[in-house]
Amino acid sequence: MTKRPEIIDRDRRRLLSTATLGFAAVGAASLFPSMLIAASAGDGIRPFRVYVPDEQLADLRRRVLATRWPDRETASDQSQGAPLEKLQRLVRYWGTGYNWRKLEKKLNALPQFITEIDRVDIHFIHVRSKHPNALPVIVTHGWPGSIVEQLKIIDPLTNPTAHGGSAEDAFDVVIPSVPGYGFSGRPTSIGWDPDRIGRAWAMLMKRLGYTRYVAQGGDWGTPISSAMARQNAEGLLGIHINLPATVPPDVAAALTGGPAPMDLSDKERAQFEALMASGKKGNLAYFTMMTARPQTVGYGATDSPTGLAAWVLVHPGFNDWKYGDDPAQSPTKDDVLDNITLYWLTNTAASAARLYWENGARGSVIVAVAQRTSEIALPVAITVFPEDVYRPPETWARRAYPNLTYFHEVDKGGHFAAWEQPELFSAELRAAFRPLRQSLFRLFEGRRPMRRIVSALVAVGALTGMVAYMAPAPGQADGEAAPIYGGLPRSRKAGPCRPLFRAAT
């Protein structure tokens, strides 16, 4: 008989979550009294833990090892898709040596939560910095990524002093799973496009009590973060994006068959030609297919884990990935398999692909007009990574974004920048948002007495929480460890922490 996961007593959990609010407030309200407010008890933020039954993992291994393989590709490069020999090696390891429980343990060591927004459950990681004055940031992944992409940036952002930064650069980090991805709910009706997700993210930050925050995104995270800025989401100070929408109208027209622009600089022409070459090589075939027929893509990727892996690896962001042959390369083969396994276990291959269909009428995510960048008045910061699928010239970026406050081309990293270069990526966020922090410092320059009062009050709350936690819960022996679930006050109607799947008794 399989034992159910431990669930802490509801009354004690309510007391503990209230104490956690005291800890949380130390990180933000001690400097900026208006940056954090208490969320109402009716907002229904529920602690979350991942638990996948052994039967699910055994079924995955069985399917992986029973793969029916096609014949070898006839091309010597990856122009026909994932190379057979490399994929076979990766899949063989997936079925015999890979350990999902390591990721499960890593995720469960982080504060995770579920909250319902617009009738869809939203899963998110929420890690508060130990440093005072931390700036809240909501970080959004894309496809074929997930929250797994961002795990390596959590510590550099929340604990900058351990990574070459200063305490003044600390962030509180919120990493949600996009609807239809990972542990978030799968929408059952149409309409979940980047604009709607942006509104949901604004609601999430409000529900967490943040009244001043920033947003970051790459891939789909860019149009989602940009939507928040365009909507002038309450409390949003600015955004940082990679893969920005900067292609000008004349260049966009040329890419779809119009005449080539005549007045391009050398750098602009090089990028124009790179985009033309990429299109001719079929690098955007996955984009076209999921925009047109995501359900069709979902059948094969939902039935075959190997088919899912091959589909994920068709993304051009993996063009230079060595399939785990280079142990120094990030992401590692375990990182990539963590991400693919997450798609498999949550059965989200089809629901994730539908985001492309939802965005379809808006056109390309890198075209400025399609993404209405001229309507964004908030500060925008851009980092260009040299191995990304699109590397915008600064001239195009300044034409696209009226309030571009930061533009930097770094010397390494690609499409999955947070995954590939987490330290550099985190340093870029610190630099990009530093001017906004300075503006907040000036805003609260005259409120020192109030800051001291707030700091004292939240410190008392934290101390009370420590005493409450040290008391054993009903049914728990003295000295016995109990799970800790950080977070804001729960709804009285909220149920116990929710595993991904419950083991049968």
The closest of 171, 157, 173, 186 to 124, measured between CA atoms, is 173
Locus of tokens 């005072």: 132
What confidence tens digit (pLDDT) does each residue in 151-164 have? 999 999 999 999 99
pLDDT at 441: 63
> By percentage, how much of the chain surpasses pLDDT 90?
75
Q: Are residues 440 and 415 in contact, defined by beta-carbon separation less than 8 angstroms?
A: no
Q: Is the pLDDT of residue 471 over 90?
A: no
The encoded tokens of residue 43 equal 């907002």
pLDDT at 493: 33
Task: Return d(Cα 428, Cα 459) in angstroms, integer.
Answer: 32
What confidence tens digit (pLDDT) does each residue in 440-465 have? 766 655 455 544 544 444 444 444 33
Q: Is the pLDDT of residue 384 over 80?
A: yes
Backbone angles phi, psi at 354, to 5 degrees: -65, -20
How high is the mean pLDDT of the chain? 84
In this predicted structure, which of 172-181, 305-314, 433-442, 452-461 has the lowest mean pLDDT?
452-461
Contacts of 280 (CB under 8 A, 6+ apart): none
What confidence tens digit (pLDDT) does each residue in 222-262 have? 999 999 999 999 999 999 999 999 999 999 999 988 998 99
pLDDT at 363: 83
- Element counts in the chain: helices (H) and strands (E): 18, 9
Task: Return d(Cα 472, Cα 481) in angstroms, integer.
Answer: 9
What confidence tens digit (pLDDT) does each residue in 288-304 have? 999 999 999 999 999 99
pLDDT at 38: 42
Mean pLDDT, residues 420-449 taken together: 82
Mean pLDDT, residues 109-134 taken together: 97
pLDDT at 497: 37
pLDDT at 229: 98
pLDDT at 377: 98
Q: Is the pLDDT of residue 41 over 50?
A: no
pLDDT at 392: 96
Give the DSSP per-residue string, 61-98: HHHHHT----PPPSSSSSTTSS-HHHHHHHHHHHHHT-
- Which amino acid is located at 126 in the chain? H
The closest of 346, 449, 430 to 104, measured between CA atoms, is 346
pTM of this structure:
0.82
The closest of 240, 273, 261, 282 to 397, measured between CA atoms, is 240
Q: Is the pLDDT of residue 85 over 80?
A: yes
Task: Return d(Cα 372, Cα 274) in angstroms, integer.
Answer: 23
The crossing angle, in degrees rounded to 10, of helices 100-108 and 333-346 is 80
Confidence of residue 40 (pLDDT cuts 50, 70, 90): very low
pLDDT at 134: 97
The closest of 192, 204, 56 to 124, measured between CA atoms, is 204
Task: Return d(Cα 452, Cα 328) in angstroms, integer.
Answer: 47
Q: Is the pLDDT of residue 130 over 50?
A: yes
In this predicted structure, which of 99-113, 290-304, 382-396, 489-503 has the lowest mean pLDDT?
489-503
The closest of 139, 134, 113 to 487, measured between CA atoms, is 113
pLDDT at 460: 44
Task: Return d(Cα 416, Cα 142) in angstroms, integer.
Answer: 9
Task: Return d(Cα 384, Cα 391) in angstroms, integer.
Answer: 6
